[in-house]
């Protein structure tokens, strides 16, 4: 905000002020034991504004070398996604604090989605299995909206399933009917199934997941269309894969 105001009120002094403030900011970051993604993005942004693109800014050894020219668009997108996951995880923690007495809420669902997006299927599976065990018989659960920005963390199968449902029945776009949402349990079972298939798990492991899916199908009411469709999709995937192994 200070930099933006200077650009309007004191144009002639802007570069001098930017240089001074960014040096102070770099020192502050160097003295910080743990940097957040938002700090890194802010540093890159103000460095570009001050024409520091051709200079390397060194922090203490425990921090990564920052060279603003080396960050590509895809890397910045990944940083933004990671920052979003950090904030969403904090949001889940606040949900647990405020509503944990009336609902069962897991805090690692977005972390599992991000791990899946990055191809870290073992980490995703570990988090998702824990979430399934926590949520399978929960009386009340939290939802995830399968639209808008969250699509970036999902794979083609569930995105296509959602799009097909909306094309067949446009009324499903009414968010008040839960038709564009899935529960944390459905998401966790979806991730478990996808990771087990990608990691070539045994028939025994897949059969256990199939049992979990059947329990979840009974626990979701008929008006939870996207939950029902997603659970049916992964059930058919598991059954089809098991048949090829027998």
Encode pLDDT of 168-193 as tens digits: 766 666 555 566 789 999 999 999 99
Does pLDDT of 232 surpass 70?
yes
pLDDT band at 39 (very low <50, low <70, confident <90, very high): confident
Q: Model-level pTM greater than 0.75?
A: no
pLDDT of residue 71: 55
Give 53's contacts (C-beta < 8 A, 6+ positions apart): 47, 68, 69
Residues 62 and 93 both lie in one domain: no
pLDDT of residue 19: 67
If we measure between CA atoms, which residue out of 68, 74, 165 comes closest to residue 117? 74
Instruction: Name the more confident of 166 and 160.
Output: 160
Count other Cβ atoms within 10 Å, centred on residue 199. Answer: 12
Residues 180 and 88 both lie in one domain: yes
Which of 20, 45, 71 delimits the end of a domain? Answer: 71
pLDDT of residue 76: 73
What's the average model confidence in pLDDT over 64-73?
Answer: 51
Residues 51 and 127 both lie in one domain: no
Domain of residue 234 covers 81-245
* Eight-class DSSP state of 65: P
Residues 92 and 204 both lie in one domain: yes
Residue 76 lies in a domain: no
What's the average model confidence in pLDDT over 205-233?
Answer: 93
Total domains present in the chain = 2
Structure tokens at 230: 């997603």
If we measure between CA atoms, which residue out of 176, 175, 173, 156 comes closest to residue 165? 173
Residues 31 and 143 both lie in one domain: no
pLDDT of residue 74: 73
CA distance 218 to 189: 14
């Amino acid at each position: 905000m200070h930099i933006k105001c200077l650009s309007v009120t004191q144009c002639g002094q802007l570069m001098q002020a930017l240089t001074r403030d960014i040096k102070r900011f770099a020192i502050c970051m160097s003295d910080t034991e743990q940097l957040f993604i938002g700090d890194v993005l802010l540093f890159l942004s103000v460095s570009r504004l001050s024409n520091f693109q051709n200079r390397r800014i060194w922090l203490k050894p425990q921090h990564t070398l920052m060279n603003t020219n080396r960050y590509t668009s895809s890397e910045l997108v990944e940083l933004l996604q990671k920052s979003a996951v950090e904030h969403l995880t904090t949001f889940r923690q606040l949900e647990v604090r405020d509503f944990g007495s009336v609902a069962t809420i897991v805090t690692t669902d977005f972390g599992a989605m991000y791990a899946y997006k990055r191809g870290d299927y073992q980490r995703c599976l570990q988090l998702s299995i824990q979430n399934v065990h926590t949520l399978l018989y929960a009386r009340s659960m939290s939802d995830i909206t399968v639209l808008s920005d969250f699509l970036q963390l999902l794979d083609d199968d569930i995105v296509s399933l959602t799009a097909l449902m909306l094309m067949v029945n446009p009324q499903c776009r009414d968010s008040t009917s839960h038709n564009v949402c899935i529960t944390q349990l459905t998401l966790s079972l979806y991730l478990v199934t996808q990771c087990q298939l990608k990691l070539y798990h045994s028939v025994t492991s897949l059969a256990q997941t199939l049992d979990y899916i059947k329990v979840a199908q009974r626990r979701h009411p008929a008006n939870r269309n996207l939950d029902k469709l997603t659970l049916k999709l992964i059930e058919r995937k598991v059954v089809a894969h098991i048949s090829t192994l027998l």
